[in-house]
Structure 1
């Protein structure tokens, strides 16, 4: 790994020079280059310079757009995507130039496949009030699908593959590390690719893979030493790759190695606790666990059944381990917030267990209120930021405690995605207290109609997240906001086409293999 890192460090100044306007590149070309860096997964090496450039360039954004050719859909779309990705509000009115007098997008765009793909990707940055981006999504999707079944697709296989990937999950809803793996293959087949940049991207990805493998070994050692399978009934799925995949999705960069391992441990623990409430513990037993969590001291285990003593002790020890990442002056605030969210999560689990035990079907509104808490989103966000140390200060937790619209939209989106993906399996095991069932009974609609409505609400929450991200980016650092967005992306990647977390399908297995097993060819 040291040799790889030395090669990466040697290439960085060469690539860094390409970001300098003094080399003759105009602002729009540099913006397109930034898009390539982001897509290849190497932008974090140049983050400060990128942020500085975009901040300065945004002051003259209108000139940059005017400087684009009238029919240059690709460049205008890339500019829109890059600035929004970095938290700058750029109006979608810039796309009006591509409409004719009839108010529809010009027919001459139909043959611009690269422009269409970039415009399609741009449309997924839309907010709740940007109708033109909704039009763009329908328009571009239709023509990209037509391209895939036409003759031209056979002549451009690498573009075809990128289009298929985008139609499956667009970049803004996909995990950064998965986008990088796909885009490296695409970029290599581009005739005008830069050899130095391609080499950097491959070396970087190989380095990350080796880091991930090392992380997984550390996680495996921890799990074996924990030895829960010999201490409590195995009512949970014993797995490490899936939780670590989630952690990789939240922050893929090498500097977050310890944070990824810590977050993976947290996800494993939350999963075990969730199964305790869902499939194993009696109501009296899980009530006693909630009470022990409320007391939060080592003596609280005395009244618990033996297996719950182990669950409580494991939870207690994990939080003590988390404390090691927090500086003394911030520890009380950050850990207090994490404890609060753990207690809220436990109460949410208990409420759902009581509903199920009584055969009670709550209203959809009641279910969502409790269901948002039981996504474990708030406690996992707390556990996400704690291992980041000083990079996530007290101000971050004050923001989280204010319950911003961004995180609320994230939790609702996650709840809805989970409900769509898991309700059939839950109904099979007799768990009727799920979101889809609550909705169908209350509104007298079919399961299919309920799923369509949930999908609409999910799409709306994605727009709310886009909107609130742009607002929050004015005062919250990007390295804090990105993990929040990445939780939303995980919901899309893992739950959009089934329950990819509980029952890892072929797609999730392929992702895991591509990251942790099949090393990229240098």
Structure 2
């Protein structure tokens, strides 16, 4: 694969002008190199306690009283506490036992059952909510007295697919009443723990919440719930701490790799965000201990993508970017001498990341995914170069043309394929790689969510220097609307994209569910990074608290 070399933007006699961004320095430095030495190895007694509690929770899930509400509540708690990965088969079996139990008139139970089944990939009909409407086709006003039920309906409605008007109506109805509940200064009419749940859910609906962060939040909420199960809570806390210790060590591995290669000194213009990158992958790829390889590989890939992105956006000249694109698309170390010194370092680091992963996977006969991973990286760089040409020519594309390039340049396919390599021989196959990259509706939907939210969060900061056009600018120009109206329309497109993800996760047939679930995790992590018009990755002080919760603060047991 090769591209035509284009003319340079400056002559050798002119001073190079670089549109350098003002990124703040790292917040974490060598913190995890130091703290990793202090992480205590999980002793045998703790492991035995964890195993015993795990068996007890398994028994509880499978032998919970036949009362539907109790069974659903137990399954929901296990999922929200982040321990359901231990009991996937048991949960599937137990939900199967109540798949035809449609008699309940309890809004909480009906909504919870609907949400749990859709989360499981079962296309349960939204008609189950018709019974809660009045003769005029509106949700009954009497429902507002059932606060827990209204909250449950709110969470369930975010599992909607396109065309399910009743769920759109449910979001409007529940959001209005839940906001009214928490706006009342005197909360004596509602349990304080329930009020906190409402505030949290209004800020980030469960469907959009990154699982690891949601588990950490819910551990606190659940411990204050009068109906909590002490055995489940203790197991969840212990499981969280065991995983946290492993994650601290992985953060140390990433920090050492970053420092040993000398990224901070050799590319000082780029964002120094190795810890934040690792957290992003912890949220967007996996958190289970047996998936560490894919998580670390994906973290390294995103680190190098971030540096390349900053090189294209905030440092490289057009001539340099042309040479770099040529080298990557040919994937030839022999072209390294054509590059300026700082790009030689980036190019070698890029090739080494994939070479080392391929060598490691080859030991287990699992390196077949790496060629696809390389191909996606090559395509990403070509997309970056297309956007660089827009900037060089002062060209503002139509919104449709912008999306044809910028959705894919968000890097989801590059990251996705890199993360799929640890999913096992029966999932990470050639056919499945090609199927998800060519046909998966959820891939384009997630690209839309992350790209549009990224652009909404970053376009004002990026306007401070020469920068490629954003979705906001392109939409505004094409449709002749204000900036505010453009943002509003883009957010509507984001909302529809969530529905597309939901649809593809219902009884998937062509793409394995674990792959599709990982696409969902990417969407959730992107939502966290770019929610509320903020870029928490670039301006990482805004995610410092979440990093601390996940990596530095164990739970008291």
**Scaled by the length of structure 2, what TM-score is found?**
0.88
Moved more, 100-109 or 123-132: 100-109
Note the C-alpha offset of 1:339: 1.7
**1:209-220 counterparts in 2 under 5 A?**
209-220=244-255
Q: Which residue pairs with 1:416 in the alignment?
A: 452
**Scaled by the length of structure 1, what TM-score is found?**
0.94
Match of 2:99 among 45, 61, 80: 61
**1:253-268 counterparts in 2 under 5 A?**
253-268=288-303
Note the C-alpha offset of 1:329: 9.7
Q: Which residue pairs with 2:501 in the alignment?
A: 465
Note the C-alpha offset of 1:27: 5.1
**1:325-344 counterparts in 2 under 5 A?**
325-327=360-362, 333-344=368-379
Q: Which runs of 5+ in 2 are unaligned?
A: 1-41
CA RMSD of aligned residues (A): 1.9
Taking a change above 3 Å as real, the CA distance of residues 94 and 325 of structure 1, as seen in their structure-2 partners, is farther
Note the C-alpha offset of 1:164: 0.8
Note the C-alpha offset of 1:143: 0.7
Q: Does 1:403 align with 2:439?
A: yes
Give the number of the structure whose residues are more often helix, by fraction: 1
Q: Which residue pairs with 2:554 in the alignment?
A: 519
Match of 1:144 among 178, 200, 215: 178
Deviation per CA, 1:302-355, whole angstroms, max 9, x where unpaired? Answer: 211111111111000001122135458976742221122111100110011111
Looking at both structures, which has the greater relative contact order when contacts are Cα pairs under 8 Å and sequence separation is at least 6? 2
Q: Which residue pairs with 1:82 in the alignment?
A: 116
Q: Which residue pairs with 2:274 in the alignment?
A: 240
Moved more, 127-136 or 218-227: 218-227
Note the C-alpha offset of 1:481: 2.0
Q: Indicate conservation of the 8 Å contact 2:456/2:487, yes or no.
A: yes
Q: Indicate conservation of the 8 Å contact 2:81/2:218, yes or no.
A: yes
Q: Which runs of 5+ in 1 are unaligned?
A: none
Q: 1: distance between equivalents of 2:382 and 2:412?
A: 14
Note the C-alpha offset of 1:124: 0.5
Q: 1: distance between equivalents of 2:55 and 2:366?
A: 38
Q: 1: distance between equivalents of 2:427 and 2:352?
A: 22
Taking a change above 3 Å as real, the CA distance of residues 510 and 361 of structure 1, as seen in their structure-2 partners, is same
Q: Indicate conservation of the 8 Å contact 1:326/1:389, yes or no.
A: no
Q: Which residue pairs with 2:52 in the alignment?
A: 10
Q: Which residue pairs with 2:209 in the alignment?
A: 174
Q: Which residue pairs with 2:62 in the alignment?
A: 20
Q: 2: distance between equivalents of 1:5 and 1:25?
A: 32
Match of 1:208 among 229, 243, 256: 243
2:410 match: secondary structure: coil
Q: 2: distance between equivalents of 1:257 and 1:391?
A: 19
Q: Does 1:481 align with 2:522?
A: no
Q: 1: distance between equivalents of 2:486 and 2:138?
A: 32
Taking a change above 3 Å as real, the CA distance of residues 218 and 4 of structure 1, as seen in their structure-2 partners, is farther
Q: 2: distance between equivalents of 1:300 and 1:248?
A: 35
1:65 match: secondary structure: coil
Deviation per CA, 1:388-415, whole angstroms, max 9, x where unpaired? Answer: 4436421431322323111111111211
Match of 1:51 among 92, 97, 102: 92
Q: Which residue pairs with 2:75 in the alignment?
A: 34
Q: Give the number of aligned pairs.
A: 511
Q: 1: distance between equivalents of 2:139 and 2:189?
A: 26
Deviation per CA, 1:262-299, whole angstroms, max 9, x where unpaired? Answer: 21111111100111111111111111111111221221
Q: 2: distance between equivalents of 1:487 and 1:122?
A: 20
Q: Which residue pairs with 1:188 in the alignment?
A: 223
Q: Indicate conservation of the 8 Å contact 1:15/1:197, yes or no.
A: yes
Q: Which residue pairs with 2:283 in the alignment?
A: 249
Q: 2: distance between equivalents of 1:171 and 1:139?
A: 17
